[in-house]
């Protein structure tokens, strides 16, 4: 695109802004500004513009803008973007140049006069893309290098003329949907699929509640059985003592060879025998109890650990998303309550009884003796 009648005026005014009397912004690397070099580089950019070598001119003007930014320099940067078909950047550059010119209108009247028209012309030329998400959902969309982020239902943006790839992000992966081509001043509407909704989080059932109880052991059985054994042995000892006393009483009345005993002491002798039998019985019972007490000492009375597990309620609820909408399903386990059947049975019986009564009423009685026939 030709620079037009205002180009010579811009050159003169831009060179004026680079005069030594003008305060220069410090360069990014902290070095001093060489205004003579900047004026020379700016002239080179103007010459490249005249030859329509826009990419090379843009490099020169951006270099000058880094060292000293002025409305005229920003204007020429935007002009290069425009001729390189970067309309969005060009519009932004003209707006920046206009803002700088409004801050210093005396030295940038040319920019004040030309920038608004350029901005208005670009607004009419820049294509507009309208993106609609299917089913009113959401989608993470990018058009070329332009990241649009999450779009809810519908959104629009501006693009540079040309071809652009439309991509969406799903589950951390980028997927290409299509390639669109837009011309200057075109308004294009496209539809993109909604991102799949995340599956509902499955909440694991709580773990079973476990309770551990320690029951202290007791030695009462051991002591009880042992006491009975000892008492039995003591009783056996008493019986032996009584037997020995009875035997001594009888022997005292006898001769040296246990003959010629007093017949009157027969009952005492028999009582001694009964004491002997009782001593054997009590002795055997006492030994048996002591043996049982020994076994109980090692087997009974240890601490007992009881673990009780309480299961949580067995109920599961699932959420599903389908074409018809949201669905909820549940699974419940456990005893199923039986429905009462008494009322249904009771209500059905009268119905059958009434039907039988009506059938009986329609049947002919034997006493009538009439029969029907068709003529």
Angle at which helix 35-50 crosses helix 71-83, to 10 degrees, equals 30
pLDDT at res. 46: 93
CA torsion angle 226 228 234 237 (round to 10):
-110
Q: Which two tokens stand for residue 2?
A: 């030709």
Mean pLDDT estimate for the chain: 77
Contact present, 289 and 225 (Cβ < 8 Å): yes
Q: Which two tokens stand for residue 40?
A: 């020379």
Mean pLDDT to the nearest integer, 219-234:
86
Contacts for 200 with CB less than 8 Å, ≥ 6 apart = 318, 319
> pLDDT-based confidence at 334, cuts 50/70/90?
low
CATH number (1.25.40.10, 3.40.50.1370, 3.40.1360.10, 3.40.630.30) of 7-124 reads: 1.25.40.10
CA 290 to chain CA centroid, Å, is: 66
Of 139-148, 225-234, 351-360, least confident by mean pLDDT is 351-360
pLDDT at res. 338: 53
> pLDDT-based confidence at 167, cuts 50/70/90?
very high
pLDDT at res. 367: 44
Q: Where is pLDDT greater, at 307 or 179?
A: 179
Q: Is the pLDDT of residue 104 over 80?
A: yes
pLDDT at res. 207: 79
Mean pLDDT to the nearest integer, 269-295:
87
> pLDDT-based confidence at 51, cuts 50/70/90?
very high
Residue 67 CA to residue 61 CA, distance in Å, equals 10
Q: Which residues pair with 131 in a beta bridge?
A: 155, 190
Sketch the domain layout of the chain as residue ranges.
Answer: 7-124, 128-192, 215-306
pLDDT at res. 324: 55
> pLDDT-based confidence at 199, cuts 50/70/90?
low
| pTM, entire model | 0.49
Contact present, 192 and 139 (Cβ < 8 Å): yes
53-86 pLDDT per residue, tens: 999 999 999 999 998 888 999 999 999 999 999 9
Shared fold status for 7-124 and 128-192: no
Mean pLDDT to the nearest integer, 301-314:
71
Residue 247 CA to residue 270 CA, distance in Å, equals 10
pLDDT at res. 348: 42
Alpha helices in the chain (DSSP H): 7-17, 35-50, 54-67, 71-83, 87-103, 109-125, 220-252, 266-299, 342-362
pLDDT at res. 370: 38
Q: Is the pLDDT of residue 22 over 50?
A: no
Alpha-carbon dihedral sign for residues 358, 360, 364, 365 = negative
Q: Which fold has domain 128-192?
A: Immunoglobulin-like (2.60.40)
Q: Tokens 């332009």 sit at which residue?
A: 146
Q: Are strands 173-182 and 162-170 parallel, antiparallel or unpaired?
A: antiparallel
């Amino acid at each position: 695109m030709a620079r037009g009648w205002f180009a010579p005026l811009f050159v003169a005014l831009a060179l004026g802004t680079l005069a030594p009397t003008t305060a220069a912004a410090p360069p990014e690397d902290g070095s001093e500004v060489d205004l003579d070099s900047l004026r020379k580089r700016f002239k080179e950019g103007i010459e490249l513009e005249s030859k329509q070598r826009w990419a090379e001119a843009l490099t020169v003007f951006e270099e000058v803008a880094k060292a000293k930014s002025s409305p005229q320099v920003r204007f020429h940067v935007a002009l290069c973007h425009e001729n390189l078909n970067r309309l969005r950047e060009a519009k932004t550059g003209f707006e920046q140049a206009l803002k700088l010119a409004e801050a210093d209108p005396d030295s940038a009247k040319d920019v004040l006069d030309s920038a608004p028209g350029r901005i208005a012309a670009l607004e009419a030329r820049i294509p507009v893309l309208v993106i609609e998400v299917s089913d009113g959902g959401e989608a993470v969309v990018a058009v070329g290098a332009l990241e649009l982020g999450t779009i809810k239902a519908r959104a629009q943006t501006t693009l540079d003329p040309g071809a652009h790839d439309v991509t969406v992000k799903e589950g951390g992966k980028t997927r290409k949907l299509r390639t669109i081509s837009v011309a200057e001043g075109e308004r294009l509407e496209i539809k993109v699929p909604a991102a799949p909704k995340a599956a509902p989080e499955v909440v694991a059932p709580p773990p079973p509640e476990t309770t551990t109880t320690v029951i202290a052991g007791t030695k009462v059985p051991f002591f009880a059985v042992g006491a009975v054994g000892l008492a039995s042995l003591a009783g056996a000892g008493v019986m032996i003592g009584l037997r020995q006393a009875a035997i001594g009483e009888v022997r005292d009345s006898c001769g040296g060879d246990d003959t010629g005993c007093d017949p009157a002491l027969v009952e005492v002798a028999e009582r001694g025998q009964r004491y002997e039998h009782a001593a054997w019985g009590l002795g055997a019972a006492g030994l048996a109890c002591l043996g049982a007490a020994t076994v109980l000492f090692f087997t009974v009375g240890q601490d007992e650990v009881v673990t009780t597990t309480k299961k949580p309620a067995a109920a599961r609820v699932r959420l599903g998303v389908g074409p018809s909408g949201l669905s909820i399903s549940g699974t419940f386990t456990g005893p199923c309550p039986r429905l009462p059947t008494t009322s249904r049975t009771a209500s059905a019986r009268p119905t059958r009884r009434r039907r039988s009564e009506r059938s009986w009423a329609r049947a002919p009685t034997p006493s009538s003796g009439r029969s029907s026939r068709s003529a």
